[in-house]
Amino acid sequence: MKETRSRKRKREKHGKPQNMASASSKITKSSSNFLDKMRARLSGGHFRMINEKLYTCTGDEALDYFKEDPSLFDMYHTGYQEQMSHWPEQPVNIITQWLKARSSSLVVADFGCGDARLAKNVKNKVFSFDLVSNDPSVIACDMSNTPLDASSIDVAVFCLSLMGTNFPSYLEEAHRVLKPSGWLLIAEVKSRLDPNTGGADPKMFSKAISDLGFTSTLKDFSNKMFVLLYFQKKEKETSTRKGIEWPELKPCLYKRR
Ligand SMILES: C[S@@+](CC[C@H](N)C(=O)[O-])C[C@H]1O[C@@H](n2cnc3c(N)ncnc32)[C@H](O)[C@@H]1O
């Protein structure tokens, strides 16, 4: 249909500013999208850097690292939660279910608790340990040296937290604080315990823990992202701790998304 002169005049009068407004709103939107993307990329980069640091230093070095700048801990956990949001299942939920199926009188120590999700979701008394405490319920320490008494705990949990190069000392600490027959529950990133992808031999890892004074009760490799290894502390002290052959656990480095 042919446009009348008066319509054309109206369109030219009113149409142009409208188009300009929508063009400038498009520019604002796309530049804020761009800034959001840049921010996400930057924080993803920071997360990967802190993550690599935690996997390549000892626990006390990691403690000093966060003491110098506690904001790095929040940065790490923002990135970690982003990564976890892509996992179909979270190991902390499986451990939560395991605890819920048992007596709530079991006393738990969560080694490397992160945001203390485990403590928040069970009725048990949970001692939550991490390098930084952002919550009054979390005790800040290097978990190779907790303030717990010897033989005072029923369940020790390491959910994706065997990060430091001195990880055997975390398991030794768990052995110290666990009661005889107490449970040691480990969830670890699958690639770290998969020889096909350059990871450690899970049999060697499990044997080292048994040599420390535990009996293996469950090995679950069914999940794509993580393995579950459960143990019970032996009734009698058998380990000398010396001569245990620990495999090297490779860092879990997350890909850029
Ligand atoms: C990958 S996050 C897992 C957090 C939580 N367990 C979960 O499943 O969501 C590992 C946590 O272990 C903590 N961690 C690593 N080494 C530690 C150490 N030596 N002492 C205390 N916490 C440690 C880190 O600060 C981090 O919060």
What local confidence, expressed as pLDDT, does residue 81 receive? 93
Give the pLDDT band of residue 236 (cuts 50, 70, 90). Answer: confident
Considering the four listed CATH numbers 3.90.700.10, 1.10.10.2150, 3.50.50.60, 3.40.50.920, the one that applies to the domain covering 33-85 is 1.10.10.2150
Nearest CA owner, ligand 1 atom 4: 114
90-233 has which fold?
Rossmann fold (3.40.50)
pLDDT in tens, 117-163: 999 999 999 999 999 999 999 999 999 999 999 999 999 999 999 99
160 Cα–ligand 1 center, Å = 7
From the CA of 58, give the closest atom in ligand 1.
19
Break the chain into its structural domains and give their ranges: 33-85, 90-233
Pocket test for ligand 1, best of 98, 138, 163, 227 (most atoms within 8 A of CB): 163
From the CB of 119, is ligand 1 less than 6 Å away? no
Give the tens place of pLDDT for each residue, 30-63.
667 766 666 666 667 889 999 999 999 999 999 9
Residue 153 backbone phi and psi in degrees, to 5: -125, 145
- Residue 195 in tokens: 């020889």
pLDDT at 14 > cutoff 70: no
Residue 239 in this model has a pLDDT that exceeds 80: no
Ligand 1 in reach of 188 Cβ (< 6 A): no
**ipTM for the complex?**
0.99
For the ranges 38-42, 110-114, 152-156, 164-168, the lowest mean pLDDT is seen at 38-42
pLDDT tens for residues 183-235? 999 999 999 999 998 999 999 999 999 999 999 999 999 999 999 999 999 99
The model's pLDDT over 81-100, given as tens digits with 9 standing for 90+, comes to 999 999 999 999 999 999 99
Could you tell me whether strands 226-233 and 178-189 are parallel, antiparallel, or unpaired per DSSP bridges?
A: antiparallel
Whether the CB of 173 sits within 6 Å of ligand 1: no
CB distance 79 to ligand 1 below 6 Å: no
**Would the CB of 168 count as within 6 Å of ligand 1?**
no
Q: CA angle 130-243-129, nearest 5°?
A: 10
* Beta-carbon contacts of residue 166 (< 8 Å; ≥ 6 apart): 58, 59, 144
Instruction: Give the pair of three-digit tokens for residue 27.
Output: 């520019």
